[in-house]
Amino acid sequence: MALTIGVVGATGAVGRKMIDVLGERMLIDVSLRFFASKKSAGSFLEYRGKKIIVEELTEEVMKEKYDYLIFSAGSSVSKKYAPIAKDAGNTIIDNSSYWRMEKNIPLVVPEVNAHVLEDYKGIVANPNCSTIQMLVVLAPLHRKYRMKRLVVSTYQAVSGSGQAAIEELENQLIDDNHPNKVYTKKIAGNCIPHIDVFCENGFSKEELKIVYETHKILEDNTIEINATAVRVPVYSGHSESVYIEFDNEVDKECVTKTLSKSPGIVVIDDLSKNQYPTPLEIADTDSTYVGRIRSDLYNKKAISLWIVADNLRKGAATNAVQIIEAMENIKKKENNYV
């Protein structure tokens, strides 16, 4: 029997990527419905060669029955419509930041904490893109060696800000005088250490998301985390430089071996051949890539890593679809057990 899946915000950059990923990964039949604003209603999107009409998002259509609803339309839409869909008995995977820190709502990276989805139905939160790729790599290390402190600097692509940001970079590369509207400063040829709004403590909301989401997903708020989030003139793919201190001594070989055996990770780390991951090379893939693995020069309990992933795929769409896959696998196990 086909799964019925609705995509809310289907015409946006992440929504379209959701559709692509569903088409690539779903091994069973899927009956899809697309929802967007009244302005986009009536247009068509393609799924596996078939054109499907985009419907207007209303309270009435959210009260209907679906196996899953994927929300990718921003916090205000999720705040209004996700509870309506939940009250109708639906399972929602929400890509906005609105529900992530709610106590009783699971925040899920399937490779890390899929167990929280057992016996659960309701709203499931998709973490921040930078948090997702970082924890795919750090979670197996935390389980084995226990992290004490980490310092992360992110280098985030403009696609994380939507289509308008992509166009702004394109226009500024052509016209040096093209004004900046999406960002506070010109992005072409520049790096901007400013993602989301700044808080009273001097950190941006993007940086604090990394801190608090990591604590929630790993169920350990004792980890000391310091983050700096930077927007860079790259179209797609987020990169992260991460420094980690553990409770005990670790070495590069042990860390590399652990990561090589962990799900969702591809290790690219051969400096003799200049092999390390970059955003351009890993575009349109679903894995998380790690390289530049090196022991600290002074602290035997510390290691440094370079982490890269496609922010629209693993950082958003793919992770959401993997949540559906994880929930379906849980159902299969339960049915086999019965």
Select from 269, 253, 313, 270 the least CA-distant residue to 288: 313
- CATH code assigned at 259: 3.30.360.10
- CATH code assigned at 41: 3.40.50.720
Beta carbons of 195 and 131 less than 8 angstroms apart: no
Instruction: List residues with catalytic annotation.
Output: 129, 238
pLDDT tens digits for range 33-79: 999 999 999 999 999 999 999 999 999 999 999 999 999 999 999 99
Beta carbons of 237 and 280 less than 8 angstroms apart: yes
Give me the domain span that covers residue 109: 3-127+316-337
Are 152 and 275 part of one and the same domain?
yes
**pTM, rounded to two decimals:** 0.95
Are 237 and 215 part of one and the same domain?
yes
Residue at 179: amino acid letter: P
pLDDT tens digits for range 86-131: 999 999 999 999 999 999 999 999 999 999 999 999 999 999 999 9
Provide the pLDDT for residue 1: 64
Dist. CA 260–CA 140, nearest whole Å: 10
Those residues whose C-beta lies under 8 Å from the C-beta of residue 105, and which sit 6 or more positions away, are: 99, 122, 123, 124, 125
Query: What values do phi and psi take at 238, rounded to 5?
Result: -95, 140
Beta carbons of 57 and 40 less than 8 angstroms apart: no
Dist. CA 315–CA 93, nearest whole Å: 14
Structurally, the chain folds into a number of domains equal to 2
